[in-house]
Structure 1
Amino acid sequence: MIPLRDANPSRRKPIVTVIIIILNLFIFLFQTSLPPDIARQFIKTFGFIPYRFTYDLFKGYSIKVWLTPIFTSMFLHGSWMHLISNMWALWLFGDNVEDRLGHFKFLVFYLLSGFAAAMTHYIFNFNSPVVTIGASGAISGVMGAYFIMFPFARIITLVPVFGLPLFVRIPSIIYIGFWFLSQVSNGILTLFGPIFGFGIAWWAHIGGFLFGVFVANKVKKPIFY
């Protein structure tokens, strides 16, 4: 299923959402312009590595040193497909959540969602030397907030049926709910070994989503369509 757009107009321009998308694109273009060896070092320096986080924490490094990669990692991506899929989801769901929260609160919420996602990933992978990058944890928080705030907003979705395109208007409570269940099921599989992880930080998605649900329940009542 490929989400195309939502039938949920916003009142204000999603300024922060657009700025985040542009910033991610700019950083990715810079990243891809680097020589391969330098690009790999760039990712290792600004990506989130659970083992390094543990090492820095217990070695008494400053808060700035061991917290910085958590936030910088959510602006890095491993490929064009990784970037486009994340930014498309942010564009699809971010405008309405930003509209409800306001620009500044949305920015803070986005960053804290990424932080919650990284911490959840860390809990299940505290000794992992594998670098984690991407905005999907923060965007999962946005999806969690959307899930609560706009449960019956329709998501126009492309569903291939026997090779033919079928466009379906799916309530967000079903579309996002199904997406979240897929993250949980894959996250549980990773508990049986890294072979089931497919290189995706499933628990980061789960943590970010639950944080978004928690915040949305605290600040806004849902809108019904």
Structure 2
Amino acid sequence: MGRLTDAIKHLLIINVLFFIATQLYGDMMYQWFSLWFPKNENFGLWQILSHMFMHGGFWHIMFNMYALWAFGSPLEQMWGRNKFFFFYFSAGLGAALIHTGVNYYHFNEGMSELLSTGLVDDQIQNFLRLPRDLVKAQYFEFLDFYDAYNTPAVGASGAIYGILVAFGMSYPNSELFLMFIPVPVKAKYFIPVLIGLDLFSGVTGYSMFGQGIAHFAHIGGALFGFLMMWYWKKNQFNDNRWD
């Protein structure tokens, strides 16, 4: 952690520009650049990449960009700019893949149950247009189905979870000073616990970090980050720089 490296500088600039544009143009930015469910009419292929630069609010982008700088800087210094870019976007794409796969599961499960009750496609489309509060209050058993279709994903968190895993595997004994823990915690302990909490929240639906978090995107980014690091270390590819 220290100086602002080249790849991270460019990522910070692009994220901030997207955030400013979102403050100016609001719903249009979310409609065009968030990651929507592929069956949703708002979905576009470019969103697989563009959603990584979208954020839901000031603290969302602040925490993500701080983590990008704090944990990504030593990795870029070790790997070089191009290799860091490759890892970052690969983890982000992996996060989008896992997140979308879980949404497909919830969507198909809910669709099958609704069709079994005798509803037809037009009636299901009308159901998907209902206000979320009404669905949550009266049709809670179909909330995952509803959210899979209607709730877009935004944020760099999936890519950053890949960065966290890479940092933990590269610098396992680094001591992290966290504002909510009064003593330093080694990366090899903190990062697996953080991922475990996301897995718990994704499976149970109970989140310690608030609502509206794409927990399986975090898991996907961490998983792809782990697989890349494991493969690189196994093949001694991790020793090569891409400047």
- TM (normalized to structure 2)? 0.71
Q: How many pairs were matched up?
A: 190
Percent identity, please. 29
Q: CA RMSD in A?
A: 2.5
1:102-141 correspondence runs (5 A):
102-126=80-104, 127=107, 128=148, 129-141=150-162
In 2, Cα distance between equivalents of 1:137 and 1:152? 23
Q: Between Structure 1 and Structure 2, which shows a larger proportion of helix residues? A: 2
Is the Cα–Cα contact under 8 Å of residues 35 and 153 in structure 2 kept in the other structure?
Answer: yes
Is the Cα–Cα contact under 8 Å of residues 64 and 160 in structure 2 kept in the other structure?
Answer: yes
From 147, 157, 177, the counterpart of 1:156: 177
Shift of 1:41: 2.2
1:1-225 correspondence runs (5 A):
14-34=5-25, 39-50=26-37, 53-54=38-39, 66-126=44-104, 127=107, 128=148, 129-159=150-180, 166=182, 168-190=183-205, 198-220=211-233
Q: Which amino acid aligns with 1:67?
A: L
Q: Between Structure 1 and Structure 2, which shows a larger proportion of strand residues? A: 1
Is the Cα–Cα contact under 8 Å of residues 51 and 153 in structure 2 kept in the other structure?
Answer: yes
In 2, Cα distance between equivalents of 1:151 and 1:67? 37
In 2, Cα distance between equivalents of 1:111 and 1:155? 25
Question: Tell me, which stretches of 5 or more residues in structure 2 are unaligned?
Answer: 108-147, 239-243
Residues 138-187 of structure 1 deviation map (CA, whole Å, 9 limit, x = unaligned): 11111111121111111122236xxxxx3x22110111111111111101
In 1, Cα distance between equivalents of 2:151 and 2:212? 9
Residues 64-119 of structure 1 deviation map (CA, whole Å, 9 limit, x = unaligned): x8431010001001100111011111111111121222110111111111110011
Q: Which amino acid aligns with 2:170?
A: M
The equivalent of 1:61 in structure 2 is none
Q: Which entry has the higher C-alpha Rg, 1 or 2?
A: 2
In 1, Cα distance between equivalents of 2:40 and 2:57? 28
Judged with a 3 Å threshold, the aligned counterparts in structure 2 of structure 1 residues 117 and 201 are, in CA distance, closer, same or farther, namely same
Q: Which amino acid aligns with 1:46?
A: F
Shift of 1:135: 0.6
List 4+ stretches of structure 1 deviating above 4 A.
none
